[in-house]
Amino acid sequence: MSDPVRLDIEDGIAIITLARPEKLNALDEAMISGLAIAAERIDAHGSVRAAILTGEGKGFCAGGDIAAWGKLSALDMGQRWVRDGHRVFDRLTRLRAPLIAAINGHALGGGLELAATADIRVAEEQAKFGLPETGIGMVPGWSGTQRLVTRFGAAAVRRLALTGEIVTAERALQLGLIDEIAPKGQGLAQAHELARKIAGRGPIANAVAKQMINAAEGEDAAAAIEILAGSLVSYTDDLKEGVASFVEKRAPQFKGQ
C-alpha cells in the first residue's frame, strides 16, 4: 500500500503530495499523521528553502473523510479528530520554510482549511472552494472559523460557512482566498516558479519575515517573540561569559556586550 502523503525534496524545494486520489484526497487519520511526519522532516532538513503542498489526481483535498469521523463519539470527535487536525495544521502553518499551496482541484471544507496553512495559494482555473459542513449539520473544525477569518476576512468566511456556497477560482481570487490562478494542469509548475524565487532569497531572512507575519496574524506570537529574543541574546559576549562561568564554576563577569 502506497503512502497517502508523499514528500520529495530536491534543489532546496520540498513537495508534499496528498496521494489518495480515489477519494479526492479526503483526509483520514493516516493522512493527518502523514502530514505531521512531512512537516517534521521538512524542518529537520536544513537545505529546504521553500515547500509546496499539492494533491494527486483531480482534487486538491475534498476535506475530512466522513467515513473517518462520521461514527466517532462526541468525545473522540473533539479530543482526537479535531485536536489532531488542529495540531497538524498549526504545524504546517509554522513551517520554517515558506509554504505554497498548489491547488490542482477542489478545496472544500478541511481542504480549504488545509490550503489556508500556506503562505501563498496558487489555484488552477477549474478549482472550486467552499465550506459545506453546515449542510450536513457539522461546523468547520480545523480552523475554518479562526485562521480563515484572520487570513481571508470574516465577511468571506461568514458567507461560505453559513450559505455553503461553492465558489470558482475567479471568485476565490476576488475574495482573497487565493493569490494566483493558473491554467488547468499548470498549478504545480506555477507554484514551482514561485518556490524557486523564494529559494533564491536569504533563507534566514525569509524564515524570520514569515515568523513575524504569522505573529502579526496571531499565529503563536508568544513563541515568535521568545525565538527572536533567544536568537538575539545568543550573539552576545555576555552569554558566552555566562556559559563559561557555569562550566568553570565561578562568578560571571558580565560586560553588557
Given pLDDT bands bounded at 50, 70 and 90, which one contains residue 1? low
Helix 221-233 vs helix 203-216: angle between axes, to the nearest 10 degrees?
140
DSSP structure string for 200-220: TS-HHHHHHHHHHHHHHTTSS
Point out the residues that are catalytic: 113, 133
Task: Decide if pLDDT at 255 tops 80.
Answer: yes
Q: Would you say 95 and 118 are in contact if contact means Cβ atoms under 8 Å apart? A: no
Whether pTM exceeds 0.95: no
List the one residue out of 120, 147, 141, 164 whose CA is nearest residue 32.
141
Given pLDDT bands bounded at 50, 70 and 90, which one contains residue 178? very high
Given pLDDT bands bounded at 50, 70 and 90, which one contains residue 253? very high
Task: Work out the percent of the chain whose per-residue pLDDT is above 90.
Answer: 72
Which pLDDT belongs to residue 74? 80
**Lowest model confidence (mean pLDDT) among 5-19, 128-142, 227-241:** 227-241
**Which tens digits make up the pLDDT trace of 49-106?**
999 999 999 999 999 887 878 776 887 777 777 788 889 999 999 999 999 999 999 9
Beta-carbon count within 10 A of 172 CB: 26
Task: Return mean pLDDT, the chain.
Answer: 92
List the one residue out of 54, 66, 83 whose CA is nearest residue 23.
66
**Which tens digits make up the pLDDT trace of 98-141?**
999 999 999 999 999 999 999 999 999 999 999 999 998 888 88
Q: Looking at residues 147-168, what average pLDDT do you find?
A: 96
Provide the greatest CA pair distance for the chain. 68
Given pLDDT bands bounded at 50, 70 and 90, which one contains residue 48? very high
Q: Would you say 103 and 76 are in contact if contact means Cβ atoms under 8 Å apart? A: no
